[in-house]
Amino acid sequence: MASLADYLPPTLSNDTIRAFALSQRLPNPISIQSLNVTAEYHSIYVLFFNPDDAKAISPNLRPISPKGPVDLTENEVAVMNWLRKNTTVPVPEVIRFDVTSNNVLQHEFTVLERVRGTALHEIYGRLSQEQLEQIVDQIIDIVEQLHHRSWDGVSGLTIAPGSGEVIPGRILEETYWQAPDIAKHFPSESVETFNIHGPYESYTAYITALIRVYQHAIRLHSSLEPYRDLLPRLDALVNTLARHPKLNYTRYVLAHKDLHMANIMYDEYSERITGILDWEFSGIVPIQRWDPSRAFLWNGQRNARAVAEQKRIRAIFQKRCRARGVGQLLLDEPGYTSSLQETMQNGISYLRAIIEVCPWGQRQDEVGLWRTEVEDCLEAFGV
C-alpha cells in the first residue's frame, strides 16, 4: 500500500504560514514549529504568538492532504462542534477551517485550539496503577456520553449550509480506498466513485452499499478474478438481507472508532483527560461497531506486551462499568443481537479484507481462510 508520505500535504514554508495567518486575521506568529506526526492525511504546525497580543493563542494548524477521503475535514469539524455543544467530552475548539483549497495554503485546513497536556501513549510507562484506574473512569464518562444519544441510521456528520446546523452526512472510514492506491490499482476510478457515501437508513442498507463496492472491485481487478464466482451469491445476499428485519435490531451511536491512548491528551498536574483528538473517521454507527478496529484502550506501544496490557486495561474498564451501573449501556448493548447479525458483519469484514490485500499481492497465505469465512456467511443466509 502507499506509504505515509504519499498521503501527506507538501511541507509549508514559514512565509506561507505567516501569509495564511494574515489572511485569517490571526496575529503574526513569532515562531512556527512543525510536529512529527503519524497521521496519514494531515501535517501539524504549532503557531506561537506574542503573549502580549490580546488575541494570542497557540493553535495547531493542520493542512489536509487532497489525496485523503472526501469530506474528511467537514466530518471532523462537524463532530467536534456537535460534541462541544451537546456534551462535556473534551475536544479542541475549532478556530478556523476551510473545506476547500481556495485559500493561501491551497489545501483544506483546520486551525484547532492547542490542547494542554501530553498524549497518554507518551507517558504511559510512568503512570501508576491508581492513575490508570482514574483515567479509565474518565474514559467511561466519555464513552457513556457518546452511547447515551441515539441517532437515525449510519452516517458521518456535516454542517448544513446557511444554518450551520450539524446534520447526518457522508460516511468516513479508515478502510476507504485512497487516491494513490486507487490510481495504482483502479485507474478508471476515483475516491468519489470507489467508496460508499451514505447516510444509510439502516444497518443492512449500509452493508448492502459495502457489498456493491466490493463487487465492483472484484469485477475490475485481475487479482480478484478467483472471487468472481461469488458475485451472483453476493447479489442473492443483498436480496436476502431485506427479508431479515431483525438484522436491523440495533441502536445508532456516535463513535470515535479509534479511541486509543495516542488520541487522548492528559494533564499530569490535574490528572485529567484534556482532549480527545483525531475525529476524522468518527461517525454514527450501529452500536456493535463502536470499536471496529479494536484499538480501544491500546496504549500506543508497538511491542510484545501491548496486547496483554490492552486486555488488562479493558478488564478494568469492564469491571468499573459494572460497578458504576453502566454495564448494560457500555458492555451488553454493544453485543450483536443475533448470531445471524454477527455472521453478516463478519462475512462482509472478511470480504473487505480480501479486496484490500489482493491487488497488492499481500497475505496470500490467509485469503483462502478469509474466503471460507465469506462463504460461511453466504451459507448462513441460504445463498
Q: Mean pLDDT per segment of 10 residues, for the chain of length 383 residues?
A: 60 93 92 75 84 68 68 93 98 93 90 93 96 99 98 97 94 90 95 94 98 98 98 99 97 98 96 96 98 96 94 98 97 97 98 98 96 98 98
96 and 189 belong to one structural domain: no
366 and 226 belong to one structural domain: yes
**DSSP reduced 3-state for 47:** strand
Q: Other C-beta atoms within 10 Å of 101: how many?
A: 13
Domain-located, residue 58? yes
Domain-located, residue 287? no
d(CA 327, CA 18): 50
Number of domains in the chain: 2
The confidence score (pLDDT) of residue 44 equals 87
Q: Other C-beta atoms within 10 Å of 225: how many?
A: 11
The confidence score (pLDDT) of residue 62 equals 80
230 and 364 belong to one structural domain: yes
The confidence score (pLDDT) of residue 263 equals 95
106 and 182 belong to one structural domain: no
Domain-located, residue 221? yes
Where a domain ends, among 112, 137, 167? Answer: 112
98 and 211 belong to one structural domain: no
Picking from 321, 380, 377, 319, the residue whose alpha carbon sits closest to that of residue 351 is: 377
Where a domain ends, among 112, 137, 166? Answer: 112
190 and 103 belong to one structural domain: no
Going by the DSSP 8-state scheme, the letter that residue 257 receives in this structure is S
Domain-located, residue 10? yes
Containing structural domain, residue 102: 4-112
191 and 108 belong to one structural domain: no
Domain-located, residue 148? no
Where a domain ends, among 112, 131, 147? Answer: 112
185 and 96 belong to one structural domain: no
Q: What is the CA radius of gyration of the chain?
A: 22
**DSSP reduced 3-state for 64:** strand
10 and 104 belong to one structural domain: yes
Domain-located, residue 130? no
- Measured on CA atoms in the order 135, 282, 40, 358, is the torsion positive or negative? positive
90 and 197 belong to one structural domain: no
The confidence score (pLDDT) of residue 5 equals 53
Task: Give the CA count within 13 Å in the CB-facing half-sphere of 166.
Answer: 20
229 and 353 belong to one structural domain: yes
The confidence score (pLDDT) of residue 9 equals 74
Pairing of strands 44-48, 60-64: antiparallel
Domain-located, residue 74? yes
Straight-line distance from the first to the last Cα atom of the chain, in angstroms, rounded to the nearest whole number = 33
Picking from 267, 78, 44, 239, the residue whose alpha carbon sits closest to that of residue 155 is: 78
Q: Which residues, other chains included, contact 354 with Cβ-Cβ below 8 Å and sequence gap of 6+?
A: 224, 227, 367, 370, 371, 374
The confidence score (pLDDT) of residue 150 equals 98
The confidence score (pLDDT) of residue 2 equals 52
Domain-located, residue 292? no
Picking from 195, 174, 141, 153, the residue whose alpha carbon sits closest to that of residue 284 is: 153
The confidence score (pLDDT) of residue 343 equals 99
